[in-house]
A and B are shown apart, each in its own frame.
Chain A
Amino acid sequence: MVKNIKLISVVFLVIVSFFILLKGLNKTNNYSPNLNSSKIDFNFKAKFLYSDEETTLYELINDKDFSIINIWASWCLPCRDEHSFLLNLKSLDKLNIIGINYKDNEINAKKFIKELGNPYSKIVVDPSGVNSIELGAYGVPETILINNNSKTILKKYIGPLDDKKFAELKLIIKNEN
C-alpha cells in the first residue's frame, strides 16, 4: 500500500509538472514594465539628425496635444514594416511624431527616410542608445504615445506596429480629451 502511494504521488507530480511546463510554452515571457511606474524624463538632450543643434525632449513635444515617440533604425527590418503605419498616422492633426534614430549610421538613416518617406516632424539621433534607456525603451522598434498636456505615457508598444495596434492608437487619440 505504501509503495502504491509513492508510485501514485510520483506519477501525479510528473503529470502536474508536465502540464505546468506545457502551459509555460505558450506564455510569452516579454516582460513589460508597469506604465504608471515609468515616468519620462523630459530633459534628456539629443541632437537632430538633419542639423547639429541639440534639443531636449521637452522642446520636441511641446506643440500639439499628443506625441508619438518612435524609436527606429535603418538596420532594423521590422521598422521598415511599421513605417507605412507611421506615415498613415502623420495625417492626424492632433498628433506629433518624433523619431529617435537608434544606434544608426547617419548616411543610412537619411537614405532610409528618403526611400520610405518621412512621417516624423522631428528626428533626433541616439548613437549610444543611452537616450532610449532613459526613456525606458528596450530596443527597436518601439512606439510610445504621450499626452502632451499631462505629460504622461498613454501607451507603449514594444515591437513593430501592426493593424491592431494602429487601430488602438487611433482610438486612444480619438477618445482622449
Chain B
Amino acid sequence: MKIKILIFIIIWLVSFFNFSYADNSEKVDQISKNLRCLICQGQSVYDSQSDFALSMKILIQNKIDEGQNDEQIYDFLKSKYGEWIVYDPEINKNTVLLWVLPLILFVFGGILILRKVSIK
C-alpha cells in the first residue's frame, strides 16, 4: 500500500512539473502558431525546427518576459518582415478579394437555395 502511495505521489509530482513547464511556453506556442515560418514553406513557426523558427521562439519569449502583449509582438514582427509573416491577412487593396469572395459566394448560394425552395 505504502509503495502504491509513493508511486502515486511521484507520478503526480512529475506530471505537476510537466504542467507548470508547459504553462510557461503556452503563450509562445499560441503566438508562434499564427506566424509563418518564412524560410520553410507551408509551416508555421511553431511547427518548424529551422534555425529561423527556433530564434523566433526565443525572441517571442523574450518579448513576453519584457511584458509586451500579443498585439505588440505581432506589430514588431510585421514591421520587420511585412504583412506576410502573420497568417491572418489585413484588409487592403491586395487582399480585399480574399475577404469579400467567400461572402459573395455565400450570398449567391443563399439566393440559389431560396429560388429553388420558392419554385417548389
Q: Contact: A133 with B56, CB < 8 Å?
A: yes
**Contact partners of B51 in chain A: CB under 8 A:** 102-103, 129, 139
- The answer for the CA separation of A132 and B81 in the assembled complex, in Å, is 12
- The answer for the CA separation of A29 and B37 in the assembled complex, in Å, is 13
Most buried by A among B39, B58, B80: B80
- The answer for the CA separation of A140 and B82 in the assembled complex, in Å, is 19
Residues of A within 8 A of B (CB-CB), count: 19
**Contact partners of A134 in chain B: CB under 8 A:** 59, 80
Tell me the B73-116 residues at the A interface (CB within 8 Å).
79-82, 84
- The answer for the CA separation of A132 and B53 in the assembled complex, in Å, is 12
What 1/0 flags go to B46-76 for Cβ under 8 Å of A? 0000111011101100100000000000000
- Kindly count the residue-residue contacts between A and B in the assembled complex, taking CB atoms under 8 Å apart: 48
* CB of B103 to closest CB in A, whole Å: 24
Count class of interface residues, chain B: 10 to 19
Interface of B is mostly: helix
- The answer for the CA separation of A136 and B51 in the assembled complex, in Å, is 14
Tell me the A128-163 residues at the B interface (CB within 8 Å).
128-130, 132-136, 138-139
Q: Contact: A33 with B52, CB < 8 Å?
A: no
Among candidates B41, B52, B55, residue contacting A128 with C-beta atoms closer than 8 Å = B55
- Residue B38 at the chain A interface, CB threshold 8 Å: yes
Tell me the A24-74 residues at the B interface (CB within 8 Å).
29, 31, 33-34, 37-39
Interface of A is mostly: loop
Q: Contact: A133 with B59, CB < 8 Å?
A: yes
- The answer for the CA separation of A16 and B119 in the assembled complex, in Å, is 36
Q: Contact: B80 with A38, CB < 8 Å?
A: yes
**Contact partners of A130 in chain B: CB under 8 A:** 55, 58-59, 62
Q: Contact: B81 with A38, CB < 8 Å?
A: yes
Q: Contact: B52 with A138, CB < 8 Å?
A: yes
Q: Contact: B58 with A31, CB < 8 Å?
A: no
Q: Contact: B55 with A33, CB < 8 Å?
A: no
- The answer for the CA separation of A34 and B54 in the assembled complex, in Å, is 23
Could you jot down 12 A-B contacts, CB within 8 Å?
A: A31-B82, A33-B82, A34-B82, A129-B51, A129-B54, A129-B58, A132-B55, A133-B52, A133-B55, A135-B80, A136-B80, A139-B50
- Apart from A128-B58, A129-B55, A133-B55, 4 more pairs, CB < 8 Å: A31-B84, A38-B81, A128-B55, A134-B80
Q: Which residues of A contact B (CB under 8 A)?
A: 29, 31, 33-34, 37-39, 102-103, 128-130, 132-136, 138-139
